[in-house]
Structure 1
């Protein structure tokens, strides 16, 4: 198990959330360059992420010799955690794409990302005995208001019951991964690699049905897949699971809300998009709430959580 300080754990989760913010843009470029469907993109993301971590484990000698040996309760527990993590990853990825298909990107993003810290906070209180207090709950509320202002700034929201339901399923899957790996943290990069393998196998049948190989521009598609697997997948999930060793589950979930802020900034500086004053105010509110909760985590964290 990797031991980190609370300060470093907060940094790792923040970097992970920032890296995730680039994943949407990379996925959109892959749709455009290779003509792949969303589930196929998720499959390649998991496959490339697993390959990156496997390569890193050989280069840096992480986990050498751990694959063989006696079967112990700890190893069985770790295997079970990895399998559940991978299945949950596949579920929340697929459910998120289904929510987008039913309700559009804006509503799917708000409901999925917004519901996640609520689910995590409830689960952390019931299962992990983590308490946020009034300041923490206020930070969560401010963050959700900022998320809505940032994401629904054009007034074009299209709500549908199936879309909202799929988004809630996605949020529940992500919350489950967060709570599980906060409750019983193992070696983070091994957990991430195993989760990618299991998740990729779950997505493979649907990806094959959609079309697994890029239809055009294989060189650009391959470069995007490498980036998608390396930064917003292998690096981000490894850091996120490492940070969960010391950062409260709800705090990690709220910090993850900066993902749409990063995506918005990429849209402005890379894709020449423009943010409305409402969206800017929402981003500021969201970042303020994240900073407030991070300060609270550093001041009030205890080794025994």
Structure 2
């Protein structure tokens, strides 16, 4: 215990450990969700509703008790409230639903890797917005992303798909949703803070989806194992993971945290292969690593 305390006393080490805990929790959470969908008969819509409502409530409680914020003030600002509703529906709900739908239609490993195409989409959008052409590093990242996606979904055979069309479609939509989720709420985050903005985004997204899929409209098999799995997805894979990631930003740079978070797709893929016996060939591993490599390349571009 003394050794652990000594290690954690170094701020940078503490930040690295926190972001690794967060990223691993996210990756494991996706694989646990696959277990609920494929082996316990749960639906992605129900799990997304429960995850958003419960985790959103937890973040708002955290903002009020620990952050000492008045969580209702944002509702009095009409302009920010409109931005928040858009973020909650199209950003938070969008990224959560498309990601879990990709897992339900395919597997956690592929869904998580495809979602990591978002940084390349962000880079392309920023180039378009600034009316500039991609620089060399960005072009390399784009080529790697396209090549990695091709290997991941075809196993190198152009005539066949290694995953279903719906799984691929939801995975690509998940990447677009993550790009929007990353770029859109910048003004809200700077004004109201991350926990409050994301907490209300989760609540708005959860309430919105409740009109389509009420949380009491359940399907699947309840057992101690499935209850534990749902609890893990909501508490560890969402609330604790998010709080750890936010806390890590106090000790390390956001760019460093983003790079370390690349362990998420690797942990999801590894656990899916070992625990759920998902087939993941060397060609697919190469495709996954090619996509993940784009984050390291884009992080080196100073603009």
Q: How far apart are the structure 2 equivalents of 1:272 and 1:107?
A: 11
Structure 1 pair 268–111 and aligned structure 2 pair: CA distance change class (3 A): closer
Question: Residue 176 of structure 1 corresponds to which residue in structure 2?
Answer: 180
* 1:125 matches 2:127: yes
Q: Which of the residues 280, 288, 295 maps onto 1:290?
A: 295
Give CA-to-partner distance per residue, 1:63-112, whole Å, 9 cap, x none. Answer: 3242356977xx545433332221022234444566678x7559984995
1:131 CA drift (Å): 8.6
Question: Kindly tell me: are residues 142 and 258 of structure 1, through their superposed partners in 2, closer, same or farther at Cα, counting changes over 3 Å?
Answer: farther
| Cross-structure match for 1:66 | 70
2:200 alignment partner, one of 194, 210, 227: 194
* Conserved 8 A contact 2:273-2:280: yes
Give the Å deviation of 1:41: 1.0
SS in 2 for 1:139: helix
TM-score by length of 1: 0.68
Counterpart of 1:226?
231
Confirm or deny that 1:90 pairs with 2:93: yes
Question: CA–CA distance in 2 between the matches of 1:270 and 1:83?
Answer: 38
Distance 1:177 1:68, change over 3 A: closer
Q: Is the contact made by 2:94 and 2:174 (CA closer than 8 Å) also made in structure 1?
A: yes
2:42 aligns to what? 36
Match of 2:281 in 1: 276
Give, in whole Å, the separation in 2 of the partners of 1:257 and 1:108: 14
Q: Name the counterpart of 2:189.
A: 185
Report the counterpart of residue 260 of structure 1 in structure 2.
265
Q: How far does residue 27 in structure 1 lie from its aligned partner after superposition?
A: 0.9
Aligned residues, how many? 283
- Native 8 Å contact 1:87 1:195 kept in 2: yes
CA distance in 1, matches of 2:80, 2:286: 43
Q: Deviations over 1:173-214 (max 9, x none)?
A: 322111113455331111111111011112213333893375
Tell me how large the CA RMSD over aligned residues is: 4.5
| Residue aligned with 1:49, SS | helix
Matches of 1:94 and 1:231, distance apart in 2: 18
Where does residue 50 of structure 1 map in the other structure? 56
Contact 1:192 1:234 in 2 (8 A): no
Alpha-carbon spacing, 1:182–1:148, altered in 2? closer, same or farther (3 Å)? farther
Aligned pairs (5 A) from 1:108-147? 109=111, 113=115, 116-127=118-129, 133-147=135-149
Report the counterpart of residue 4 of structure 1 in structure 2. none
Unaligned runs of 5+ in 1: 1-6
Match of 2:222 in 1: 216
Structure 1 residue 42, shift from structure 2 partner: 0.9
Closer, same or farther in 2 for the Cα pair 1:209/1:272, shift >3 Å?
closer
